[in-house]
Amino acid sequence: MKQLLLLVVLSSVASAAEPFVPAATLRYAPTPQELMDDCRGAKKRAESALEAVARMPAGNRTFDNTPWALDQIGADLSDQTASDTFLKYVSVSSATREAGNECETLLGQFSVDMYSREDLYRALKEYAAKGEALTGESKRLVDKELLDFKRSGLELPKEKRQEVLELRKKLVELEATFGKNINEYKDFALFDLSELDGLPEDFVARLEKVDGKYKVGLDYPDYFPFMENSTNPAARRVMEGKFNDRATRQNLPVLKEVLALRLKAARLLGYPTHASFVLEDRMAKDPKTVAAFITRLRKKVKVLGTDELEVLKALKVVFEGRASDGKFNAWDWRFYDNQLKKAKYSVDNQKIKEYFPADHVTEQMLGVYQKLLGLKFRQITDADTWHPDVKLYEITDAAGGEPIAYFYLDLFPREGKYKHAAAFSMITGRVMPDGRYQRPVSSMVANFNKSTKDRPSLLTHDEVETFFHEFGHIMHQTLTRARYGRFSGSATARDFVEAPSQMLENWVWDREVLQSLSGHYSDRSKKLPNELLNKMLAAKNVNSGLVTLRQLLFGSVDQLYHGNPPSDTTRAYARLASEVSMIPMSPGTHPEASFGHLMGYDSGYYGYMWSKVYAEDMYSLFKEGGALNPQLGRRYRTEILEKGSSRDEMESLKAFLLREPNEDAFLESIGLKPGKS
């Protein structure tokens, strides 16, 4: 008996020593072979489950065993392969990243297959034909699934349906290749010390040296500070030329093929363009509505942007004198935007970032979200992760109780890691067959500067804003209470998905919140001085017209490419750059080759501005009622974050606003009076 008791104790000790993982399907150190075996095994299980749904006699069909079963199968597959595909973006091993990419492609093709199966469509229609009285989220699920099959060509003759299927599979492969080419692209420029005038000392100190020259890469932590601070226009031109020519040789032919195949598939399905196909399932509904939206905003903002551009041109003459070329170029934009803030408002971004150490900002930002949304976060110190820099947190309601969800923070750059900032939904929040609610798991990935021996990681105010934005996505993904995986978290209409996180960017412009976020790296008790804070707030709308026009440029390019694609994508981009953003594209560059959103956001980039309008409208309530108003925060959590896409997004907006939405708050946020054009 004592021996048995000892074995039980030893077993408990061993279990306690195991690193904590928030979901049984997550694992972060598989070999490439193990990853692919796991991926294929999950796919095989999903195929078997789909077969069971398809073979069921028509008379036995119920909501649970047909439409809900289809939703469960897709969500189960996503959960079971979550870490497999996620490792494509974060693994330190190039072989593992390659395997993750292969898995992601395999699953993308499986999804195409699933919604192209005639037997599954027949099964769903057999259930729908029973005419059961469904309401709310359950009715929405059946309607959306029927539309998915229709949009996959199931109403087409068999030959055309097969052609659409083959096109979709090819597109999955090409889209993955396009993104991989950007992520894996490596280039840099070498400069003498004399060519690095204007750059901060800590920036120069951390640069690697090659043959006595300083190596400046194209990743964000190198590129943006360089372009904002380098007083050498020739050096900026070199860097901008390299940055906007990333992956050109690899991706231009891929893009051309992708656009052609998307158009072909859309027309086979009966849509005039790929944009028409995509927008059918968005808030905007059609290209005409998007075009009107872009045109309306562009007209209102152009007057503001024109005035701003004249100021920047004059500033350039002050800096360069007779050496100025009299133009305002793409490589001038970030530098003179930064110099204007310094000159007119004495905003020194390098000085400001001394007050935003990454660890302090993280702690204080989490505090803001906890207070606003009625939550409690706890770091789990014995967590299993994919890199030592990564931290895992548990979410509970402020009132206590069982954990609601979990999130990871992976904030610093490393070789091969995803280059941008993003929130990845890993485990889907949803009701399981046994009635329990599955706890969601998400991860925020960013590329903030790492600490050095002299200084901790310091964030620019723009990076603090990015932090708040991406963490807004994390909240959307983890606080969901949607019943079905299809509607969980940020799986909303793509032209609404950014609105909740865009709204939360406003908190980094609130005086009280900014003070709480700040603390000098040498003494955290020293807050951002009022003098600096006042200048920052006064400079908030510097060049807001040009920034807005830049976003409208990207939306215009995306819509043009996915209407009737131009034969020369580069020439079309150059034309729109001059017309819409008013800053010409640099000769010899091909920005579209690294425009990654053309894959994941095809025909949907306008959604950033579309959702921004709604974001500012939602924030107007907090602006009036208090940025940390817990009652408003709770309503926001309940009516927006928890709902996901379980009801129409416009219904959620109205439920939170208690009125119809409008764009007045957005225009005010960029310094325009509503109605002014």
Q: Which residues are catalytic?
A: 470
In sequence order, what are the residues at sequence separation of 6 or more whose Cβ sits closer than 8 angstroms to the Cβ of residue 84?
30, 35, 38, 39, 42, 99, 100, 103
What six digits make up the tokens of 511? 């005086």
Half-sphere exposure of 221 (CA within 13 A, CB side): 24
Q: Between β-strands 441-445 and 422-427, what pairing exists: parallel, antiparallel or unpaired?
A: antiparallel
Q: Is 18 exposed, middle or buried (0-12, 13-18, 19+ CB in 10 A)?
A: exposed
In sequence order, what are the residues at sequence separation of 6 or more whose Cβ sits closer than 8 angstroms to the Cβ of residue 93?
32, 416
Contact 592, 270 (CB under 8 A): no
Q: Where are the alpha helices (DSSP H) in 488-606?
A: 499-504, 511-517, 530-538, 544-561, 569-576, 597-600
Which residues on neighbouring strands pair with residue 210, listed in sequence order?
Answer: 213
Q: Is 345 exposed, middle or buried (0-12, 13-18, 19+ CB in 10 A)?
A: middle
Q: Is 236 exposed, middle or buried (0-12, 13-18, 19+ CB in 10 A)?
A: buried
In sequence order, what are the residues at sequence separation of 6 or more whose Cβ sits closer than 8 angstroms to the Cβ of residue 425?
440, 442, 477, 488, 489, 490, 491
Euclidean distance between CA atoms 472 and 116, whole angstroms: 35
Residue 408 carries which DSSP code?
E
In Å, how far from its chain's centre is CA 585?
A: 25
CB atoms under 10 Å from CB of 57, counted, come to 7
